[in-house]
């Protein structure tokens, strides 16, 4: 309510300690004739407060904010001053409604903005992770991109690249050491083999059994060293020769002939079905060794009158090769570990072996960007499935 000067008018009331109204302003008498009996105002004067009280009263013309002040006398008189709040209630209601609408929108925009900022901040980390995932043991010379927008990310990238440097040096030294050891031991083994053969020809009959046993052990040690050397060089040879196309059909056919001859000597039949014109990028020597290892394994664990089948076909952009046998198969508990080193499929086999054959197969396949899977059922046979990327005319 405004007075003639346009200012907000004050409501003035004087009450005694019993709540009886002693005075009220004329303006209030005209606007609120029943205010003298207003319950809240009467109660405020009757409670005997010694300090100011503040409360809001709803009158006919709207809410009014009252202050009840005890006067400095001894008869318990109180002065009650009221100021109309006007449109404050309407404004508060509008603010409440507006907040209910705007707060969810602000939260949504803030969340979306935070997501964009976080995604942008984590983008260099995602790039580092993708780079690390693409680096294989055959390609440790690659490095994560060192150019990053933030100092912290640059430090992380630098630390990762230094770690890759140390790993690359360690892997290189390990391969060189393995190759050197196998080379150094090959000479004394050859000498031992010659000595055993000479002793076998000239020795007495009672020494023949001991020489035969010693000869078998030398064969086993020789096979282990050869596999160890091949395992150490498989990555380097294959990765270094990936720039050259290999006629997979010719390489696999040549290896299949050798497997067939070995199978015939064991009384096992061997069937070959290799599609012509297959090619991939890689190392012909290692791919030949890949199929020979799988074929020798199949012959080793297939009893006489069993069957082996070697096949290779192109499927879309992949070369799919399989080596199947009707042998003893692999037990379910051993199947997940067939690619581990020194794991043998059948402990009853009398064939000399190092247990590195399938580990070498897996290393060669991965070095050529492919994948190998072994499927087997005990008593029904085993199938080795190899997929290699096919070479295209455009490279």
Confirm whether 100 is domain-assigned: no
Q: What is the CATH number of the domain that holds 365?
A: 3.30.565.10
The tens digit of pLDDT for each residue in 242-266 reads 557 899 999 999 999 999 988 998 9
Domain that holds residue 16: 11-86
Q: Are 47 and 175 members of one domain? A: no
Distance CA 299, CA 270 (A): 9
Same domain, 257 and 392: yes
Query: If residue 308 lies in a helix (H) or strand (E), which one and from where to where?
Result: strand 307-315
Q: Domain end: 189, 208, 240, which one?
A: 240
Task: Please identify, among 183, 205, 240, the residue that sits at the C-terminal boundary of a domain.
Answer: 240
On whether residue 62 sits in a domain, the answer given is: yes
Whole-number Å distance between alpha carbons of 249 and 252: 5
- CA-CA distance, 305 to 10, in Å (whole number)? 117
Q: Residues 271, 392: one domain?
A: yes
Which CATH number do you get for residue 78?
Answer: 3.30.450.20
Same domain? 142 vs 214: yes
Largest CA distance in the chain: 145
Distance from chain centroid for Cα 348: 41
What is the rounded distance in angstroms from the CA atom of residue 385 to the CA atom of residue 343?
A: 19
Instruction: Identify whether residues 304 and 192 lie together within a single domain.
Output: no
**What pLDDT, on the 0 to 100 scale, is given for residue 180?**
61
Residue 258 lies in a domain: yes
Query: Among the three residues 240, 258, 289, which one is the final residue of a domain in this structure?
Result: 240
Could you give the CA distance from residue 78 to residue 46 in angstroms, rounded to a whole number?
A: 9
How far apart CA 256 and CA 273 sit, in angstroms, is: 10
Task: Looking at the structure, tell me whether residues 318 and 335 fall in a common domain.
Answer: yes
Torsion angle in degrees (nearest 10) through CA of 369, 182, 294, 239: 10
Domain count, the chain: 3
**pLDDT given for residue 242 in this prediction:** 54
Low-confidence ranges of the chain (pLDDT < 70): 1-9, 74, 88-89, 134, 136-140, 146-149, 173, 176-188, 191, 195, 202-211, 213, 217, 220, 223-243, 341-356, 393-395
| Residue 185 and residue 248 share a domain | no
* Shared domain check, 281 and 153: no
For the sheet containing 371-377, what is the strand order? 269-274, 307-315, 318-325, 381-389, 371-377
Count of CA atoms in the C-beta half-sphere (13 A) of 31: 19
121 belongs to a structural domain: no
217 belongs to a structural domain: yes
Q: Say what the pLDDT of residue 269 is.
A: 93
Global pTM reads: 0.47
Looking at the structure, tell me whether residues 252 and 391 fall in a common domain: yes
In this structure, are 367 and 387 located in the same domain? yes
Alpha-carbon distance of 41 to 20, in angstroms, equals 10
Residue with tokens 């198969």: 329
Q: Does 231 share its domain with 278? A: no
């Amino acid at each position: 309510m405004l007075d003639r000067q346009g200012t907000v008018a004050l409501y003035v009331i004087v009450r005694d300690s019993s709540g009886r109204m002693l005075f009220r302003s004329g303006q209030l008498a005209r606007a609120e004739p029943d205010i003298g009996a207003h319950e809240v105002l009467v109660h405020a004067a009757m409670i005997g407060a010694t300090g100011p009280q503040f409360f809001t009263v709803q009158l006919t013309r709207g809410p009014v904010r009252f202050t009840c002040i005890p006067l400095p006398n001894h008869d318990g008189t109180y002065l009650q001053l009221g100021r109309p709040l006007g449109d404050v209630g309407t404004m508060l209601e509008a603010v409440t409604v507006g907040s209910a609408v705007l707060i969810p929108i602000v939260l949504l925009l803030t969340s979306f903005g935070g997501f964009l900022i976080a995604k942008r901040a984590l983008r260099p980390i995602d790039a580092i992770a993708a780079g690390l995932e693409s680096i294989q043991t055959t390609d440790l010379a690659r490095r994560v991109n060192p150019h990053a927008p933030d100092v912290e990310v640059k430090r992380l990238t630098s630390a990762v690249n230094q770690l890759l440097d140390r790993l690359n040096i360690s892997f290189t030294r390990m391969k060189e050491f393995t190759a050197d050891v196998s080379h150094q031991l090959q000479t004394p083994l050859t000498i031992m083999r010659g000595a055993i053969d000479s002793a076998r020809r000239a020795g007495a009959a009672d020494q023949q059994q001991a020489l035969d046993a010693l000869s078998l052990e030398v064969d086993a040690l020789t096979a282990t060293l050869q596999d160890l050397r091949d395992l150490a060089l498989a990555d380097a040879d294959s990765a270094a020769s990936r720039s050259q196309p290999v006629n997979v059909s010719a390489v696999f056919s040549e290896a299949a002939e050798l497997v067939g001859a070995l199978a015939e000597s064991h009384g096992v039949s061997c069937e070959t079905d290799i599609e012509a014109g297959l090619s991939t990028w890689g190392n012909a020597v290692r791919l030949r060794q890949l199929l020979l290892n799988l074929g020798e394994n199949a012959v080793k664990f297939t009893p006489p009158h069993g069957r082996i089948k070697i096949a290779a076909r192109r499927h879309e952009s992949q070369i799919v090769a399989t080596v199947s046998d009707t042998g003893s198969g692999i037990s379910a508990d051993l199947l997940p570990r067939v690619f581990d080193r020194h794991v043998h499929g059948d402990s009853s086999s009398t064939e000399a072996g190092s247990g590195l054959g399938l580990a070498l197969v897996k290393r060669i396949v991965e070095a050529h960007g492919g994948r190998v899977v072994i499927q087997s059922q005990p008593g029904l046979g085993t199938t080795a499935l190899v997929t290699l990327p096919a070479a295209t005319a455009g490279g």
